[in-house]
Amino acid sequence: MGRVRVRTLDPWGPMVTPTRDSAAIAVNNMLFQLARHPHIWANLRKQALELGDSPLTFEKLKSLVEFRYVLHETIRTVGPAARVWRMAVRDTVLPTGGGPDQKSPIFVPSGTPVVSGTWATNHDKEVWGDDVNEFKPDLRLAQRFERIDNCDTVFEYIQRISPSVESQNGVKVAFKNGSG
């Protein structure tokens, strides 16, 4: 008798749970950074221990700002993807990318594929400063992103897929309050 091949559903996993692999990569990269910055690890550990044995509520989770900054800085320095591909679902204007110096607004018509070089963007000295390759979660993101912490980027809106009524970007979906 011949052998019977058995196929698992594992290849379907990323399609069913699209954040599984990128979330695992982000956590792995975060542990990589924390292992190299023990003072940051000690600070996060202290904050976690201060929570005590009480249940970790949605509000408590949202209040752990330094944890969020460590995750954001990890994604900035060693993100899970070097490029992000999107398609414009409606006509829009991006604030930069046009003109001879690429600092003028640029029109992007509906249906246009857009590729963002996240590695280049996240390591641009004009944006992040000369110490762009240093891991500084307590300073860098607090200064740069405080006012846009709850904003979604233009190309994160996918009209056909709506995983959350609160937001459609992966970070907020991951922190979605299950009680309401």
pLDDT per residue over 115-167, tens digit each?
Answer: 888 888 888 888 788 888 999 887 655 555 554 444 444 434 444 333 443 44
Q: Give the pLDDT band (50/70/90) at residue 45.
A: very high
Whether residue 73 contacts residue 133, with contact meaning beta carbons closer than 8 Å, is answered with no
How far apart CA 2 and CA 124 sit, in angstroms, is 58
Backbone angles phi, psi at 151, to 5 degrees: -100, 150
Which tens digits make up the pLDDT trace of 66-118? 888 898 889 888 877 778 888 888 898 888 888 998 889 989 999 999 888 88
Q: Are 83 and 115 in contact (CB under 8 A)?
A: yes
pLDDT at position 164 is: 40
Q: Given this model, what pLDDT does residue 102 score?
A: 84
For residue 39, pLDDT over 50 is answered with yes
Q: Give burial (CB, 10 Å; 0-12/13-18/19+) of 24.
A: exposed
Show Cβ contacts of residue 172 under 8 Å, excluding neighbours closer than 6 positions: 164, 166
